């Protein structure tokens, strides 16, 4: 079970979608990426001592069509699950992080703020808010014991963290109880201590103690073996700031004023009946979402409690809007995004990049393109600088049209102890992990 997220940064976008002269023709670039993947996988042999011991799809099995889909290892009797925590290097000790405590929540927040995922150029670092962390870690039925920290014994300082939350994830026709593993973070000064594998083994042990044997996680790096790889796309909402902080570049033959004009949005959403989601909408949104997610190979199995937790608007955490037909008052469409700022490292004028991340969107009556344009408009009204989306579900259908540019961040999705025979297309994935 692994690291969470891809890099927070730079889209390298080309706002006019002009073909740059140095771009390879499509087939060449695909060949090049295949070659790169092959070379990566050869060098993987050296890198994945730990993952080769784990029940995950292995590189050597890629293309094996006769392997059965489903759990790789059968559950162990609970009495045989290791009862004590794994050993840590002697200066360190385990701690369970009570995220309802303001003091502990702040410690986790500070650890992540200073040591979590950065982009390749070290210009941006994710800055999950305390409210966000509480929301992310307290879904229905959460286990406090899955919020795991490591402290230095002498100073009691929190130096590492990993978390799991329970989820029901459907893989084809099977609904599987899983842990979603997230926020694996080790203090920068301790990166050589091999703490990450111990954190992963410890969260695995605690998940097993609750009789759960599968997990889902994402990472910006290639591990054995992704079920799919997604691409981040970025839509400028505040292009001047994004260019000033180095998140994007001015396109060829583009001036700042032309760029600002290119990304300008209307002042208000266009769809009649477009409004913020409320508590009374939970049953209708649940029906809409369950029906929509049923088409994907891997997707969460949400009930009304999950929808209330994950999708009811929470200030500065998650925003959700829907379309209520002015005539019939039926709820026909739904869109949502979560708030994940990044710290801007080493810039004189700006300290924070305010980013919205596309979450779950369902268009049944309103065209998805129009629904997402309205989502961009409300995100702009709320002062977001950029709107990010992965090419999962049906997102690909609106990205180019709505002036999203491809980022350089890829996000790989993984399942622990569950084999899917073929790698999925990103459009077959109906799951967004935070």
> What is the tens place of the pLDDT at every residue in 36-64?
555 554 444 446 789 999 999 888 877 77
| CA 16 – CA 119 distance, rounded (Å) | 24
Residue 201: closest CA among 8, 405, 416, 352? 416
Active site residue 434: yes
> What is the tens place of the pLDDT at every residue in 290-312?
999 999 999 999 999 999 999 99
19 in any annotated domain: no
Q: Which of 9-23, 28-42, 177-191, 394-408 has the lowest mean pLDDT?
A: 9-23
- Do 193 and 132 share a structural domain? yes
Of the residues 176, 204, 223, the one at which a domain ends: 223
- Do 169 and 129 share a structural domain? yes
Residue with tokens 């695995």: 204
Residue 183 has which token pair? 């926020």
- Do 100 and 72 share a structural domain? yes
- Do 189 and 100 share a structural domain? yes
> Whole domain around residue 272: which residue ranges?
229-428
Residue 194 has which token pair? 């091999």
330 in any annotated domain: yes
| CA 368 – CA 184 distance, rounded (Å) | 34
How far from 354 is each of 108, 292, 380, CA to CA, in Å? 20, 29, 10
In sequence order, what are the residues at sequence separation of 6 or more whose Cβ sits closer than 8 angstroms to the Cβ of residue 347?
244, 245, 246
| CA 266 – CA 149 distance, rounded (Å) | 46
5 in any annotated domain: no
- State the total domains in the chain: 2
Residue 379 has which token pair? 């995100």
**Could you tell me the pTM of the whole model?**
0.90
pLDDT at 3: 44
- Band (pLDDT 50/70/90 cuts) for residue 7 is low
Residue with tokens 């009691």: 156
> What is the tens place of the pLDDT at every residue in 216-225?
999 999 998 9
Of the residues 196, 223, 250, the one at which a domain ends: 223
Residue 148: closest CA among 114, 116, 108? 108
Containing 251, the helix (H) or strand (E) segment is none
Residue 108: closest CA among 61, 157, 68? 157
Of the residues 172, 195, 223, the one at which a domain ends: 223
42 in any annotated domain: no
CATH number at residue 216: 3.40.630.30
**Active-site residue identified among 137, 195, 265, 434:** 434
- Do 415 and 287 share a structural domain? yes
298 in any annotated domain: yes
- Do 135 and 246 share a structural domain? no
Q: Give the Cα-Cα-Cα angle 419, 420, 425 (nearest 5 degrees).
A: 145
- Do 308 and 192 share a structural domain? no
- Do 237 and 219 share a structural domain? no
40 in any annotated domain: no
Give the HSE-up count for residue 285: Cα atoms under 13 Å, Cβ half-sphere.
27
In 10 A of CB 83, how many CB atoms? Answer: 9
Q: Is there a contact between 379 and 338 (Cβ–Cβ < 8 Å)?
A: no
């Amino acid at each position: 079970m692994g690291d969470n997220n891809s890099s927070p940064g730079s889209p390298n976008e080309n706002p006019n979608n002009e073909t740059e002269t140095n771009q390879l023709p499509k087939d060449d670039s695909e060949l090049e990426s295949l070659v790169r993947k092959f070379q990566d996988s050869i060098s993987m042999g050296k890198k994945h001592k730990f993952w080769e011991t784990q029940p995950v799809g292995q590189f050597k099995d890629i293309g094996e069509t006769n392997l059965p889909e489903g759990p790789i290892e059968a559950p162990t009797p609970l009495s045989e699950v290791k009862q004590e925590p794994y050993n840590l290097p002697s200066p360190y000790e385990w701690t369970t992080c009570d995220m309802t405590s303001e003091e502990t929540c702040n410690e986790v927040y500070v650890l992540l703020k200073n040591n979590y995922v950065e982009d390749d150029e070290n210009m941006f670092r994710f800055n999950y808010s305390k409210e966000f962390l509480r929301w992310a870690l307290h879904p229905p039925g959460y286990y406090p014991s899955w919020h795991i920290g490591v402290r230095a014994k002498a100073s009691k300082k929190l130096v590492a963290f990993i978390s799991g939350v329970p989820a029901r994830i459907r893989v084809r026709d099977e609904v599987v109880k899983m842990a979603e593993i997230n926020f694996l973070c080790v203090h920068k000064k301790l990166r050589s201590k091999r703490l990450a594998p111990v954190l992963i083994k410890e969260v695995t042990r605690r998940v097993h103690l609750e009789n759960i044997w599968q997990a889902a996680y994402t990472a910006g790096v290639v591990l054995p073996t992704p079920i799919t790889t997604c691409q981040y796309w970025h839509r400028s909402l505040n292009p001047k700031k994004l260019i000033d902080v180095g998140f994007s570049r001015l396109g060829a033959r583009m001036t700042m004023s032309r760029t600002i004009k290119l990304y300008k949005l209307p002042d208000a959403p266009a769809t009649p009946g477009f409004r913020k989601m409320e508590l009374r909408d939970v049953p209708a949104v649940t029906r809409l979402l369950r029906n929509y997610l049923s088409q994907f190979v891997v997707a969460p199995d949400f009930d009304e409690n999950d929808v209330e937790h994950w999708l009811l608007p929470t200030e500065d955490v998650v925003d959700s809007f829907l379309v209520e037909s002015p005539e019939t008052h039926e709820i026909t469409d739904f869109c949502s995004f979560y708030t994940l700022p990044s710290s801007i490292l080493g810039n004189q004028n700006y300290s924070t990049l305010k980013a919205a991340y596309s979450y779950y969107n369902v268009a049944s009556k309103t065209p998805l393109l129009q629904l997402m344009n309205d989502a961009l408009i409300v995100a702009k009204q709320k002062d977001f600088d950029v709107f990010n989306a992965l090419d999962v579900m049906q997102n690909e259908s609106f990205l180019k049209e709505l002036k999203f540019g491809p980022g350089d961040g890829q996000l790989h999705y993984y399942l622990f102890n569950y084999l899917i025979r073929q790698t999925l297309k990103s459009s077959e994935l109906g799951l967004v992990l935070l």
